[in-house]
Structure 1
Amino acid sequence: MTVLILTCEQDVTADMVVAELDGAGVPVVRLDPADLPGKVALSGEYVHGAFRGHLSAAGRLVSTSGLRSVWVRRPGVPAARADESSAWLTEEASQALYGMLHATGARWMNRPDAARRARRKPWQLHVAQLSGLPVPATLITTFPQAARDFAERFPDLVVKPVSGTHPQDPPRAVPTSRIPPDADFTAVAFGPTLLQRRIAKRADIRLTAVGDRLLAARKPAAPDAADIDVRFAPSIGPWQAVEVPARIATAVHAYLRRTELAYGAFDFVEDADGVWWFLECNQSGQFGFVELDTGQPIARTLAQWLAHQEPEPKKRLFGTARTAP
């Protein structure tokens, strides 16, 4: 049985998991839907109530009936590298590839429809609240007066993109930034703006959920740092493995059930009282930087899930739930 990984060519995170699967003797096929048609080919036959499908990539032919799991990591847009690409061809290639894969008995990390839904920041915040995760007061608006009123109630605010990415090729990361006290909110009318109460944090938390396993890491935050986004702030120490409070573990599992995700990279900030505040969940987030610092076996855990070889919960090495501080 083969693991299928859908991702772009340059993906170090996928490389780490492929190495774990290779080491365990699990067959792997890796392809980018952007190469369909061309370097990637497919065929599916529906005859007399039976389905027979095949995928070809990098000189390898695999039967879709022999797929044990599909990891949708960071795939390109189907047909993006076709000789005569078009929106029509992209839709045709997407329907053919993902439709055939959904007709198999393979399990997904994550299903494309669930992943698309889970990317929507307003829905993330709603599901996080329903699941019992602490969520900072947040406003998404195109009304300047609504932004002014929100700023009066919560004078210390940050602004961040609703989608999380900038529409540029390649997309640029847009940092979370602090709002000055005398901010003019007139420009809010020109596009949806996400304002959020700033949490005075003492640490950043990255919690990686793989199936039912939770692996969390903590990184101390510099006091009063000008850069509040952990991706751009100066480091005052490495990521360190940390246990997951029991109430957070329960809420994260509820979040995963509601979103139908098998994998999620959760970002929290920890305040002075030890409360973990939910910021977002990236359904295809990176984890290599955490594994390098902490030694947590995230790639191995993910490979085990894809290979249907997860250890029993009692054997967890990191991220064991404990009583909340």
Structure 2
Amino acid sequence: MSDPGPVLVVTSLHDPTADVVIRELHDRDVPVVRLDSSDFPASLSVEAEISGHGMRGHLHTPSRTADLANVRALYYRRPTGFAFPHLDEQDARFALTQARYGLGGVLASLPDCLYVNHPHRIGDAEFKPSGLAAAVDAGFQVPPTLVTSRPDAAKAFIKRHGSVVYKPLHNPVYLVDGVSHVVRIAEVTAEDIDDDVAGTVHLFQKRVAKTADVRVTVIGSHIFCVRIDSDLLDWRTDYSRLSYSPVKPPRGIEHRLRRYMHHFGLVFGAFDFCVGEDGTWWFLECNPSGQWYWLEPETGLPMCAALADLLERKT
């Protein structure tokens, strides 16, 4: 790319992590165009022409215009999603699908653009069964896991493995009296299982007797490992009870991380491990759009600089 263009940041209006990255890029005089899918069509528009010369056109926001043929990188964080509240249900459904496959297709097809990560690769990697299978192929230790809609299978799995936890396969937000809630990870017994399990698919996993958790953030060629000490089953339920320390991964972990990233075509990944009593790192999941910045002030690890280097295409 002879004349590096802007970095596109695709995320919601309220995203403190994106704010930090954008500020770092601004300090480096790297142009940034920020947008959210919910901005379309009120304050976001596009024209893209595809011919023998490839894709050409522009993306317009109220304050910026991006040349589609000259986008340096696209940082895909957590966009709100398309919405057409001014249309009736049927017209809104049509408009939404056109926007998703039209504007979404344009953003997924930018020439010579570095994606962090490509939205299609994010979609692939967000399926937990796919991630667990890929982790096994990469050589990670993975706790025995059952994905089922059968109550009898769930009971048999729990009786076979003893201590078992339930995990949601995806975690949509529930509003209770206007307050956001999510379904939490919880230990379950065979007596907790009833016929309601047949209503949808569930994930059950053998509980590992752990001494700590580890969050591994892969940013391009950089790997940042942070040990998280707490007495919690799920450390994300109470950040006030956590302590952090940078650690080096055991032998072989970096190679397995690279194999996993290559499998899904990712350049960023937030991995969660728990550390067994014998020191084994057990793979739990990888979030291709996971949070990471809160760890930098806690540890001093230069994660924001690494991500900015990647988006600037220094690395």
| TM-score, normalization by structure 2 | 0.91
Q: Offset of 1:152 from its aligned partner?
A: 1.4
1:37 matched residue in structure 2: 41
Aligned mates of 1:51, 1:280 — CA distance in 2: 36
User: 7, 10, 23: which is aligned to 1:6?
Assistant: 10
User: 232, 256, 263: which is aligned to 1:258?
Assistant: 263
Structure-to-structure mapping, 1:73-112, within 5 angstroms: 73-78=77-82, 80=83, 83-84=86-87, 86-101=92-107, 102-112=109-119
* Cα gap change, 1:234 to 1:11, in 2 (>3 Å): closer
Q: Which residue identity is paired with 2:309?
A: Q
1:120 matched residue in structure 2: 127
| Greater CA drift, 109-118 or 4-13 | 109-118
Residues matched between the structures, number: 305
Aligned mates of 2:258, 2:23 — CA distance in 1: 28
Aligned mates of 2:29, 2:197 — CA distance in 1: 54
| Greater CA drift, 23-32 or 231-240 | 231-240
Question: Alpha-carbon deviations, 1:80-113, whole Å to 9, x = none?
Answer: 1564371211121222223223042212111111
Residue 196 of structure 1 aligns to a residue in which SS?
Answer: strand
Which 4+ residue blocks in structure 1 deviate beyond 6 angstroms?
none
Are 2:188 and 1:179 aligned?
yes
Aligned mates of 2:195, 2:105 — CA distance in 1: 45
2:225 matched residue in structure 1: 216
1:51 matched residue in structure 2: 55
| Greater CA drift, 166-175 or 261-270 | 166-175
| Greater CA drift, 177-186 or 275-284 | 177-186
RMSD over equivalenced CA pairs, Å: 2.0
Q: Which residue identity is paired with 1:56?
A: H
Q: Which residue identity is paired with 1:266?
A: F
Q: Offset of 1:289 from its aligned partner?
A: 1.6
Aligned mates of 1:170, 1:129 — CA distance in 2: 38
User: 138, 150, 156: which is aligned to 1:149?
Assistant: 156
| Greater CA drift, 237-246 or 117-126 | 237-246
Q: Offset of 1:195 from its aligned partner?
A: 0.8
Segments of structure 2 that go 5 or more residues without pairing to the other structure are: none
Residue 165 of structure 1 aligns to a residue in which SS?
Answer: coil
| TM-score, normalization by structure 1 | 0.88
Residue 42 of structure 2 aligns to a residue in which SS?
Answer: coil
* Cα gap change, 1:165 to 1:274, in 2 (>3 Å): farther
* Cα gap change, 1:46 to 1:113, in 2 (>3 Å): closer
Q: Offset of 1:179 from its aligned partner?
A: 1.2
* Cα gap change, 1:237 to 1:118, in 2 (>3 Å): closer
User: 204, 207, 211: which is aligned to 1:198?
Assistant: 207
Q: Is the 8 A contact 2:7 2:311 kept in 1?
A: yes
Q: Is the 8 A contact 1:200 1:271 kept in 2?
A: yes
Q: Which residue identity is paired with 1:144?
A: P
2:216 matched residue in structure 1: 207
Aligned mates of 2:100, 2:179 — CA distance in 1: 21
| Greater CA drift, 158-167 or 240-249 | 158-167
Aligned mates of 1:307, 1:232 — CA distance in 2: 34
1:314 matched residue in structure 2: none
Q: Which residue identity is paired with 1:241?
A: P
Q: Is the 8 A contact 1:155 1:181 kept in 2?
A: no
Q: Which residue identity is paired with 1:172?
A: H
Q: Which residue identity is paired with 1:34?
A: S
Question: Alpha-carbon deviations, 1:223-255, whole Å to 9, x = none?
Answer: xxxx41111147544222111223111111100
Q: Is the 8 A contact 1:201 1:221 kept in 2?
A: no
Are 2:282 and 1:273 aligned?
no
User: 237, 241, 249: which is aligned to 2:246?
Assistant: 241
2:168 matched residue in structure 1: 161
